[in-house]
Structure 1
Amino acid sequence: MDKQNSKYRWIVFTAVLFTYFLIVSQRTAPGLITDQLMKDFNVSASTIGLLTSIQFLAYASLQIPIGILSDRYGPNLFLIAGALLNGLGTLIYSAAPNEFVLLVSRALVGMGDATIWVNLVLILGQWFRVKEFVGLLGFAGMAGSLGFLLATYPFSAWIAWSGWRPPFFTVGILLCLCGILLYVVLVKRPNQLFKGHPEAVLQSEQERVRTFLMLKRIFSDRQAWATFFCHFGLVGTYVGFIGSWAVPYGMQMYGMSRSEVSQLMMIGLVGAIVGASLTTWIANRLESIKRPYMVVHLVVLVSWIAFLVFGGKPPFFMLAVLFFIIGYGNGASALTFAAVRQSFAMREVGVVSGFANTGGFISAILLPSIYGKVLDHFQPVSSGAGYTYGFIIPVVFAALGVMGGFLLREQRKESSKASGMSV
C-alpha cells in the first residue's frame, strides 16, 4: 500500500493537526495573564517581555538544527518529542512558584514548539502528493489559527472562572497525551501497515549533500532569504504583539476588560483562519504565490502604520478591522512554506522551512522585549505614550516583510520539475 494513496494518511493528518492546534494555543495564552503575572510575581514590563521572548528564542534558535536532523532522521521522532516537551513545560508553568521557574518552563515550551511546524511540513510532504500540499498547508494554518482562537475568549473565560493555573495544567496533560497518540499514529501503526515502505528508504536511496555545503548554499540563496523576511514581517509582528501586549494595550488604552480584549483578539484570529484558507486558494487559482503574497504584505504594513497615524488609539471600529487584517496576514503566511516546497529539493525542505520559520520567530523574540522597554521608558504606562511609540516596531518589521515579498521569485511548474518534484 502506498502512503500517498492510503486512507490512513487522513488519520495522520488529523492527529498531527490536533497536536499543532493545542501547541499553538500555548504561544499566546500567557499573554492573557500578563497583568496578573506582573502583580503575582511583582515583575516589570521588561521582565514580561523577556518571559515571552525566551520561549521564541528557544524556538528560533532550534529551527535550523531541527530542520537538518529531521531531513536526516525523519520527522516522526522529533514531532513526538516536541509534543511531550511542550506538555511538560506547560505543566511546570502551571505550578511555577517564581519568575525563574516561569522562564525555565517557557524555554521548555519553546524547545518543544520548535520541532512542530518543520516536521508537520515534512510529514505532509511524505503522506500527501505535491498537488495536495498547498491546500493542506492552508488547513494546517487554519488549525494554528484555531489554536490562537482557543487562547482568546474561551481560555480567558476559563481563567476568570478557575484562576490561571488549572487551564495551563489541563492543556499540559493533553499535550503529553498527544505525544503518546502521535507515537501510535506515526510509528506503531504505520510499521504494521507499511512494512515494505520504511521512512528511511528515501533517505538511503538519495545521495546526501554534506550539511556544511548545504547550509552554505541555503544561506546564500535569495529565495531562502525572501521566505525568511516574508515570515519575519507577518508572523513575528502578530504573534509577538498578541502573545504579550495586546491584552494590557486594550485594557489601558480603551478601558476594556480582559474578556472584552480577548473577544477583540478573536477578530484577529478569524482573520487568520480566513487568511490561511482564502490566500492559499487564491494562490492555487492564480498559479502564483508571489502576487497574492505581495498584496497581503502591503496591506498588513498599511495596517500597522494606521496605529501610528492615530497616535496608538484608532477608533474602535477601525481597531477591529486592523486586528482582522493583521490576523489575516498571519494566516496567509502559510504561503511561505508553499514557496519553500515549490522552490527546493525535498531533501532540503526541512532545513529551508526551519530557516524561514526562524525569521518569523526572531521578530517574535524582538518585538515583545523592545516593546516592553519602550513601555518602561514612557512611565506611567497609562499615559499611552509607550504604546504609541511602541507601534514603530511592527511597522519596521512589516516593512522588512514587504522587502521579502519583493525578493521572492515566482517558481513555475517547470522549475518544480527541475527540482525533482512532480506537480
Structure 2
Amino acid sequence: MYWVDRLPGGACALPVDRATKQAWLIWTTAIVVYIAALFHRTSLGVAGLEASERFGVGPAALGTFTVLQIGLYALMQIPTGLLVDRFGPRRVLTAAALMMGLGQTLFALADTYPLGLAARAVLGVGDAMTWVSVLRLAAAHFPARRFPMIVAISSVLGGVGNLVATVPLTLLLGSAGWTWTFLCAGLVTGAYALVAFRRLRDVPVGVVVPVLEPESARTVLRKVATAWRVPGTRLGFWTHFSTMSTPAVLGLLWGFPYLVEGQGMSRAGASSLLSLLVVGAIVSGPVLGGVISRKPELRMPIALWFLGATVVAWTGLLAWPGGVVPTPFVVVVFLVLSLGGPISGIGFALARDYNPMHRVSTATGVVNVGGFAAVTTSALAVGVLLDLCDGLPPAQAYRIAFLSMGATLLLGFWRTAVWWRRARTAVFEAEARGEDVPVQLRLRRWDAYTAA
C-alpha cells in the first residue's frame, strides 16, 4: 500500500494548500544548521595536508578521519530517524548544533592523533542528526507537491557550507591558522543551537501529532525492516549510494590531495577547481528540483543518465595516458560529478512518497545510509591503496587508488537499475489493485518481462 500525507489515526500531517510564512521561517532556521553541518563535514577537504603535518600521519591514517566521521554518520542514520520520530526534529536539530560545535572546538585544540579522531567522531554524530531532521521539518510544513523542490533547494543551500570550506577556508587557514579558524567555527555553531531551539516547531499550528511511546528494540528493528522491504525505499537507498559517492569522496577528502600531488596543481588552483563540485550543484540543483517536481516520473531516468555519464567521465579520467590529465578535461569531469549531490535527493523523495508519515524519518535514514556507506568504504579504500602504492609516481598511485571509487560506482549503478525495474513493477501492481500511487508511470514493454 502507498501512503500520502497521513499520520497514524488519519491525522493530516501536511498543509495541503500552501506553505505559510511560519513554514519558511522554520525551514530557514533549520537550513542554517545544515549549512554549518556541510561546512564542518567538508572542512578537512582542503585541510587534509595540514592535518597530515599537524598529527604526523600518512594517507591511510588521514583517511581514517573521514572514514570515522562518515562511518558514524552512516551508522547514525537509522537511529536518527527513530530519534526524530520519537522526540521531534526540533530537539534533535538543537542537539546536532551543540554536538557539531563541541566537535569542531575539540578538533581546533587537538594536538594528538587520538584526540583528533575523538573530535571528528563527535562532529560526525552531530552532523548525522541534521539532514533527516531538516527533511522531516520540510515534510511536515510544506505541501507534498513542493517537497522535491524544498529538498533540492535545501541541498543547494547546504552547498554554501561546502563552498566556504574550499577557497575561503584555505585563505583562513593560511592567515588565522588552524586553531583560531576551527575554534571560531565551533563556538558559532554551538551558540546557534539556542536560536534553533527557540524558533523551530515540529509541526504546523493546529496539527496534532500522536504521542509515541518508547519502543522496544524488537519494535525498532521491525520498523526498520518494514521500511527496508518497501521497494521505493530500497530504490532510494541504491540511488543515493550510487549518485553521491564519487563527488562526496572527492569533496570530503581526496580531491584536494589528488589535484595537488597527483596533478601538480597549486593549492589555490586545486581549491578553486574543487569548488566546481559545489558551484555546479548550486546552479543545477534548483533546475533539477523544478523538473523533478513537475514531472516526478523523470526522476529515475535522470538518475540513470547521470550514472552513465559519470562512468564515462571517470573512465576517461583514470585511463588518460600518463595519469596527468589536462585541466580542461578535469574541469569537465568535476562539473559532471557536481550533479550528483542534487540528483541524490531523488532517494529522499522516494522514501517520502512510499512510506507513511510516521515512518518517513526511518525510511529517510535508511536511504541516507546508502550514500554514506559508499563514501566510507571508498574513502578508506583510497587511503589503503595509496599506502600500498607508496613509491610509485603520484599520478599513477592515485589512478590505482581511484579504481576503488569506480568499483563502488559500478556496483551502485547495477543495483539502482535492478531496483528501479522492481519498484516500477510494484507500482503497476498497486494500480491494478485500485490503490492510489504517488507517481503515474507509463507502462513499457520491458515492464512485463520484469514482472514475469
What TM-score does the superposition give when structure 2 sets the normalisation length? 0.85
Give the 5 Å matches for 1:1-400.
Answer: 4=15, 5-187=19-201, 194=205, 196-197=206-207, 201-204=208-211, 210-288=219-297, 289-310=299-320, 312-380=323-391, 382-400=393-411
How much has 1:33 moved relative to structure 2? 1.6
SS at match of 2:56: coil
**Distance 1:17-1:419 versus aligned 2 partners, 3 A rule:** farther
**Distance 1:212-1:162 versus aligned 2 partners, 3 A rule:** closer
How much has 1:223 moved relative to structure 2? 2.6
**Distance 1:11-1:418 versus aligned 2 partners, 3 A rule:** farther
How much has 1:204 moved relative to structure 2? 3.9
Tell me the amino acid that sits aligned with residue 357 of structure 2.
M
Deviation by residue 1:178-199 (Cα, 9 ceiling, x = unmatched): 2111101115xx89x94x54xx
Q: Is the 8 A contact 1:275 1:332 kept in 2?
A: no
**Distance 1:287-1:421 versus aligned 2 partners, 3 A rule:** closer
- In the aligned structure 2, how far is the partner of 1:153 from the partner of 1:418? 51
- In the aligned structure 1, how far is the partner of 2:94 from the partner of 2:436? 30
- In the aligned structure 2, how far is the partner of 1:418 from the partner of 1:85? 43
Tell me the amino acid that sits aligned with residue 342 of structure 2.
G
Q: How many residues align?
A: 412
Tell me the amino acid that sits aligned with residue 286 of structure 1.
K
**Distance 1:291-1:3 versus aligned 2 partners, 3 A rule:** closer
What TM-score does the superposition give when structure 1 sets the normalisation length? 0.90
Q: Is the 8 A contact 1:61 1:358 kept in 2?
A: yes
Once the two structures are overlaid, the 10-residue window that deviates more, 346-355 or 240-249, is 240-249
- In the aligned structure 1, how far is the partner of 2:212 from the partner of 2:74? 31
Q: Is the 8 A contact 1:297 1:405 kept in 2?
A: no
SS at match of 2:338: helix
- In the aligned structure 2, how far is the partner of 1:103 from the partner of 1:66? 22
Identity %: 24
Deviation by residue 1:366-423 (Cα, 9 ceiling, x = unmatched): 12211111111111364322201112112111123322432133569x97x9579899
Once the two structures are overlaid, the 10-residue window that deviates more, 61-70 or 277-286, is 277-286
How much has 1:7 moved relative to structure 2? 1.2
Tell me the amino acid that sits aligned with residue 84 of structure 1.
L
Tell me the amino acid that sits aligned with residue 54 of structure 1.
L
Deviation by residue 1:287-306 (Cα, 9 ceiling, x = unmatched): 32212121122212222222
Tell me the amino acid that sits aligned with residue 49 of structure 1.
G
Deviation by residue 1:26-50 (Cα, 9 ceiling, x = unmatched): 1111121211222222111110011
Deviation by residue 1:195-219 (Cα, 9 ceiling, x = unmatched): x54xxx323499x994333222233
Tell me the amino acid that sits aligned with residue 156 of structure 2.
M
1:402 corresponds to:
413
- In the aligned structure 2, how far is the partner of 1:294 from the partner of 1:343? 20
Q: Is the 8 A contact 1:345 1:420 kept in 2?
A: no
Once the two structures are overlaid, the 10-residue window that deviates more, 389-398 or 108-117, is 389-398
Deviation by residue 1:101-155 (Cα, 9 ceiling, x = unmatched): 1100000010001111111111111111111111111100101222111111111
Q: Is the 8 A contact 2:14 2:139 kept in 1?
A: no
**Distance 1:128-1:285 versus aligned 2 partners, 3 A rule:** closer
Q: Is the 8 A contact 1:228 1:404 kept in 2?
A: no
Q: Is the 8 A contact 2:242 2:416 kept in 1?
A: no
SS at match of 1:244: helix
How much has 1:164 moved relative to structure 2? 2.2
Tell me the amino acid that sits aligned with residue 122 of structure 1.
R
The runs of 4+ residues in structure 1 deviating greater than 6 Å are: 419-423
Once the two structures are overlaid, the 10-residue window that deviates more, 281-290 or 169-178, is 281-290
- In the aligned structure 2, how far is the partner of 1:26 from the partner of 1:419? 42
- In the aligned structure 2, how far is the partner of 1:52 from the partner of 1:180? 28
How much has 1:80 moved relative to structure 2? 0.8
SS at match of 2:253: coil
